[in-house]
Structure 1
């Protein structure tokens, strides 16, 4: 699977988790906590593989401005996740914050898929995208087993560097 296919697939997986969260209903605090943990872990691991591998490898020419914006959007997402890590699903603002998180993620995904990924397809060969996809997949698989959400509070001071 190439890098763009992998990242797009991960976007769809997180969208499905947000849908399940919204459908969970009242009095389901344990399910809401479990879904939030899965969302947060997936988003944290996804952000790490983008910031450590994908973005630095495509930080040239026309993508530079898009990537500067992307890491700022990641920072906003991380700040909301950090807030949610300190909350319980029974807290009055928990669901509202998850909705804000969803909105931030949807905006970011839309920009990546409509703009950044198109630019990247012009920059890299199919072979390069395939090799990078394998690297991203391995790194994600390793990260997802380590509760990556727990790293997020240490990453909310400034956007990730691109070089």
Structure 2
């Protein structure tokens, strides 16, 4: 799977998890916590493969500014996840913070899919995207087994470096 197709697939998976979270009604704290953990793990692993593999490989020319913004958006997402890790789903602010997290993610996804991915397709050939995609998929599959959300609080001081 090429890198862009993989990232888009992961975007859809997280969107589905957010929808399930929204549908989990009050009093379903265990379900909400499980869904938060799955969302946070997916976002943490997704951000890692973007920051370590995808972004550095496309950090040239017209994409540089967009990628600087993207890692700042990742930082904002990580800070909200870190807050949520310290909260209980029964906390009145938990659902509000989850809404903020979803809005941050939706904005980030929209920018990537509407502009960044188009620019990347102009920069890289199908073969390059396939090679990076394989590396990203392997790293994601490894990370997702390790509760990557638990690493997030250590990544909230500054945006990830791109070079």
State the TM-score, normalizing by the size of structure 1.
Answer: 1.00
Quote the residue 1:23 is aligned against. Answer: 23
Q: Partners in 2 of 1:158 and 1:78 — Cα distance?
A: 10
2:126 is the alignment partner of 1:131: no
Normalised by the size of structure 2, how large is the TM-score?
A: 1.00
Q: For residue 35 of structure 2, what is the aligned residue in structure 1?
A: 35
How many equivalent pairs are there? 163
1:16 shift after superposition: 0.1
Matched, 1:151 2:151: yes
Q: 1:18 Cα deviation (Å)? A: 0.1
1:82 Cα deviation (Å)? 0.1
Q: How many Å separate the matches in 2 of 1:8 and 1:21?
A: 20
CA deviation map 1:13-53 (0-9, x unaligned): 00000000000001100000000000000000000000000
Whole-angstrom CA distance in 2 between matches of 1:77 and 1:2? 25
- For residues 161 and 115 of structure 2, the distance between their equivalents in structure 1, rounded to whole angstroms, comes to 21
In structure 2, list runs of 5 or more residues that go unmatched: none
Unaligned runs of 5+ residues in structure 1 are: none
Identify the residue that residue 9 of structure 1 maps to in structure 2.
9
Runs of 4+ in structure 1 deviating by more than 2 angstroms, as ranges, are none
Cα offsets for 1:63-111 (capped at 9, x unmatched): 0000000000000000000000000000010000000000000000000
For 2:60 and 2:4, locate their aligned partners in 1 and report how far apart those are by CA, in whole Å: 17
Following superposition, the deviation at residue 157 of structure 1 comes to 0.4
The CA distance in 2 between the partners of 1:150 and 1:24, in whole Å, is 23
SS of residue paired to 2:146:
coil
**Counterparts of 2:140 and 2:41 in 1: how far apart (Å)?**
10
CA-based RMSD of the aligned residues comes to: 0.3
